[in-house]
Structure 1
Amino acid sequence: MHLSKMLAETAVKNLDKTAFYFLDRPTTYGELNAAVNQFATGMEKLGLQKGDHIALVLGNSPHFIIALYGAMRAGITVIPINPIYTPDEISFIANNGDVKAIVTLDLLVPLVEKLSSHLPNVHHYIICETNDERVQNVDPTQFSIYSKMKSFSQILASGSIQYEAPEIQEDETAIILYTSGTTGKPKGAMLTHKNLYSNAKDIGNYLKMSSEDTVITALPMFHVFCLSVCLNAPLISGARMLIVPKFSPREVFRLAKTYQATIFAGVPTMYNFLYQYEGSVPEDLLSLRLCISGGSSMPVALLKNFEEKFKVIVSEGYGLSEASPVTCFNPLDRPRKPGSIGTSILNVKNKVVNELGEELPANTVGELVVQGPNVMKGYYKLPEETAATIKDGWLYTGDLARMDEEGYFYIVDRKKDIIIVGGYNVYPREVEEVLYAHPDIVETAVFGVPNPEYGEVVQCYVVSKNPQLDEEQLLRYCQEHLAEYKIPKEITFVKELPKNTTGKILRRALKEQILQKTK
């Protein structure tokens, strides 16, 4: 079984049931499944075949769902890309991922035009119409990629609601999710049809998700948290989704009340904004039976305050792209432990091991490793990275954790120097690579510091050979080469950075000094 086939079966049973609302417009399961077939046949008419790769440079919209499931139904591998990425970031992923077609918004055509000369293997640009006034008077023939452009509606119109899907094996790659790498370049985690289906099914069962549920889909669909918890799990459960184009506390409260939402999932930053929203009252989320938090650790004080204010339980979990992503959730039928990521979900095993891979006793800190049908088959075109991450069938997460006597896991620290900004992963080396490319930068150290709104933000120290270079100029440079959440919140110029005897910059020592000063 795979997701697209399961959607077809669900549609047969629920033809007239609403699958999702977008801008208050309902789409039924029957309509969604027909559009998925149309997209799949439209792709074939463009010459795309099973095994080819397409990229979705899209935000939350019906276009994303139709393209995702349509491509998977045709056996085409999907690469979701954050639409706020810079041309440099998008072109790297598209080239490394061997992308042949890009699906994106009409608003982003100028961006795509800018990077198109660096994408020789992309033969088709499928443009999703937004009816935004900013593009209504734009002449599409002015773009050099005009001959390669097709509208999303044209693709659907050229397709058929009847489609004979190719035979798809469960171990074939359905999605490649690019995740930040320690070398500064993202790595593509290959998730199979089995990986995605098993995790969506196990999440749905664990959360007791059913056709009676209404899920607020406010997390970004290109992110694996949303993909499995707020999109795939609801669709195979026959639930309905409330698609939020862009997170806004006001819109979440409105949708929850209007459509009697039962499930909300978000990162701690979202919960903080909802809690702090002026004028919010307990009745705003009265219909919710469950809230889910992931992406980064939720401060216990925020969790308790949110629960007390809105009278709803927040269940924290844990996951990573390489595990499709969920491995742990706080159980619904047993006491929830604040600060814990919960217990292993169905069919997934978590354990804590030492440097030799030996399981450690309860309350002993070691590395968290994971095993299950949700674990990726490897990194795209990176066999050595794959071998270093998956050993003897276990995925090594790089996170330090402990497990208590009742099987509840706790993340203690991160083995790698990852920075989590509002639920998004940022590796210091990735930012440092960009800074080192600046002609005036001699050396730099990047790390994360606590932030009440985003959990962490990027802090940067640089040594410059140009005394005229200032923070504002360097931030503008970063904005050209980094996604918004990766841009340093603050840049400090210093004469030199602390180093050890071999000349290695002591990033952690510098971070500790900064944190000590702020206490």
Structure 2
Amino acid sequence: MNLSSRLAEVAVQLPDKPAYVFEGERSTYGELNASVSKFASGLYNMGIRQGDHIALLLGNSPQFVIGLYGALRLGATVIPINPIYTPDEIGYILLNGDVKAVIALDLLVPLFAQAQGRLPLLKHVIICETPQGKEKGILLPEQMKSFTNVLQSGDAHFQGPELQDDDVAVILYTSGTTGKPKGAMLTHKNLYSNAQDIANYLKINENDRVIATLPMFHVFCLTVALNAPLMNGGTVLIVPKFSPKKIFRLAREQQATIFVGVPTMYNFLYQYEGGSAEDFRTLRLCISGGSSMPVALLKNFEQKFKVIVSEGYGLSEASPVTCFNPLDRPRKPGSIGTSIMNVENKVVNEFGEEVPVGEVGELVVRGPNVMKGYYKMPEETAHALRDGWLHTGDLARMDEEGYFYIVDRKKEMIIVGGYNVYPREVEEVLYSHPDVVEAAVVGVPDPDYGEAVKGFVVSKNPQLTEEALIEYCRQHLAKYKVPSSIEFLEELPKNTTGKILRRVLKERLISSHS
């Protein structure tokens, strides 16, 4: 079984059930499955074959869903790319990923018109029209095809080749903290097992209506808000762009049952004055991932909206989910929960030996969801996959009940005079201050202690001073953990999923001192 064959199965069982709703338009499972077959057939007619690489440069839309599942049905390998990446970033992935065809927004037509000579393997560019593209008067060059035409040219009864579990279904380029992004190769088994396991773990069924506002090109949304609901007959509420106003209205109008977001989204929803518990009345579950959620925010959000927020953990290399707070036992604030079914997590020291309960070490993972390796990077693959375990690079601890807690990224730990300082611990204290909206902490060079702690804060109170906030930290933290300085910013840098980028804050400090 794989994502494509499971979709076909659900379409037979529930042909008239809405598979997705987008901007008020809905498509049933029967209609979606027919579109997927037609698109796969259209690609085949263009000369795309099993094993060819197809890049998706699209936002959240029906075209993304049809393009993804259509390519998978044909046995092609899909490479989702953030469409707002720079030309250099896109060019690197297309070149490194040996991409033969691209499905892209019309706003990117000029980019592909210029890049043709530099991408020798790229044979086909399929363009999706957008209202913004029409406004700008973007015309389709002769050598490019429209998504609509490819779809209409296909056969709804197209079957596609037999797919093997170990065939690479998707290559996800991870935004590496150092160097170029690496392409994590996820097989059909990886993606299907994780989608099915998380759907079963969260008890997603045909009555669920899941808000998909995180970017679909990111693995968190791809598995939890798109693939998992489609595996069990749920309805995906596709939101092209996150806005608190839109989410509250959609949840109310569509009677949403599950919201999937990152901590920054929860913060925006919490701060938005136009939202109420009544808007979220039908939600049975809020899911948070992508980065650790400050406990103060989690408690405030739950209190305001009368809904449980359950945190999980995952990474691109694991398709992505490895841990989740169980629904049938108490959820522990600050914890990423326990291992999901079929997946093992453990905490180890530098020799790969499991550490005692409560001690901090590196989180390692194994299961049917763990990637095949990095595309064309054997050394990086050998470093990440050792003795059957995926080394995550995240520092964690486990309690006596098997609940895991992410302490921080291994590379982001700050060492002050020989003492380990985990940025998250300091950020939790900053977030607990009533005037702090967002906070991030990084290490800066210090002549006496090697490193010192520096905080960056967004405050809703213009009267809040650096001195007052440092004094607040002194009351809650050991002396060596207290920030030596705090800088107030209008906003913190974030990636497309809303994750705060400490790396960018460090780079900003380096450039200001150079």
User: What is the rounded CA distance, in whole Å, between the counterparts of 1:451 and 1:136 in structure 2?
Assistant: 38
User: What is the rounded CA distance, in whole Å, between the counterparts of 2:512 and 2:153 in structure 1?
Assistant: 62
Are residues 1:74 and 2:74 paired? Answer: yes
Unpaired runs of 5+ residues, structure 1, are 141-145, 421-427, 429-444, 454-477, 498-519
2:52 is matched with 52
1:491/1:284 CA distance change after superposition, 3 Å: same
1:125 is matched with 125
1:364 is matched with 359
1:12 is matched with 12
Q: CA deviation at 1:407?
A: 0.2
2:173 is matched with 178
User: What is the rounded CA distance, in whole Å, between the counterparts of 1:348 and 1:195 in structure 2?
Assistant: 11
Task: Give the match's secondary structure for 1:30.
Answer: helix
1:494/1:281 CA distance change after superposition, 3 Å: closer
Q: CA deviation at 1:449?
A: 5.6
Q: CA deviation at 1:161?
A: 0.2
Q: CA deviation at 1:139?
A: 3.6
Are residues 1:40 and 2:40 paired? Answer: yes
Q: One-letter code of the match for 2:317?
A: E
2:470 is matched with none
Are residues 1:30 and 2:30 paired? Answer: yes
Q: CA deviation at 1:355?
A: 1.0
Are residues 1:250 and 2:218 paired? Answer: no
1:390 to 385, 392, 395: 385
1:380 is matched with 375
User: What is the rounded CA distance, in whole Å, between the counterparts of 1:496 and 1:275 in structure 2?
Assistant: 36
User: What is the rounded CA distance, in whole Å, between the counterparts of 2:229 and 2:369 in structure 1?
Assistant: 17
- Residues 28-55 of structure 1, C-alpha deviation per residue, up to 9 Å, x if partnerless? 1111001100110111111111000000
Q: CA deviation at 1:494?
A: 7.2
1:167 is matched with 162
1:314 to 299, 309, 314: 309
Are the counterparts in 1 of residues 348 and 364 from structure 2 also a CA contact under 8 Å? yes
Q: CA deviation at 1:416?
A: 2.1
1:278/1:182 CA distance change after superposition, 3 Å: closer
1:509 is matched with none
Listed as ranges, the matches of 1:156-305 within 5 Å are: 156-305=151-300
- Residues 194-216 of structure 1, C-alpha deviation per residue, up to 9 Å, x if partnerless? 00000000000110100010000
Are the counterparts in 2 of residues 215 and 239 from structure 1 also a CA contact under 8 Å? yes
1:134/1:165 CA distance change after superposition, 3 Å: closer
Are the counterparts in 1 of residues 266 and 301 from structure 2 also a CA contact under 8 Å? yes
- Residues 240-271 of structure 1, C-alpha deviation per residue, up to 9 Å, x if partnerless? 01100000111111110001000001000000
Task: Give the match's secondary structure for 2:278.
Answer: helix
Task: Give the match's secondary structure for 2:138.
Answer: coil
User: What is the rounded CA distance, in whole Å, between the counterparts of 2:111 and 2:215 in structure 1?
Assistant: 20
Unpaired runs of 5+ residues, structure 2, are 414-422, 425-441, 443-450, 460-492
Are the counterparts in 2 of residues 266 and 294 from structure 1 also a CA contact under 8 Å? yes
Q: One-letter code of the match for 1:48?
A: I
1:206/1:139 CA distance change after superposition, 3 Å: closer
Are residues 1:337 and 2:332 paired? Answer: yes
Where has structure 1 moved over 4 Å in runs of 4 or more? 133-136, 447-453, 483-490, 492-497
1:81/1:495 CA distance change after superposition, 3 Å: closer
- Residues 99-127 of structure 1, C-alpha deviation per residue, up to 9 Å, x if partnerless? 01110111221233343342221111100
CA RMSD of aligned residues (A): 2.4
Are the counterparts in 2 of residues 84 and 484 from structure 1 also a CA contact under 8 Å? no
User: What is the rounded CA distance, in whole Å, between the counterparts of 1:298 and 1:181 in structure 2?
Assistant: 21
Q: CA deviation at 1:278?
A: 1.7
- Greater shift after overlay, 108-117 or 266-275? 108-117
Identity %: 66
Are the counterparts in 2 of residues 87 and 114 from structure 1 also a CA contact under 8 Å? no
Q: One-letter code of the match for 1:57?
A: L
User: What is the rounded CA distance, in whole Å, between the counterparts of 1:315 and 1:100 in structure 2?
Assistant: 40
Are the counterparts in 1 of residues 107 and 133 from structure 2 also a CA contact under 8 Å? no
Task: Give the match's secondary structure for 1:285.
Answer: coil
Q: CA deviation at 1:281?
A: 1.4
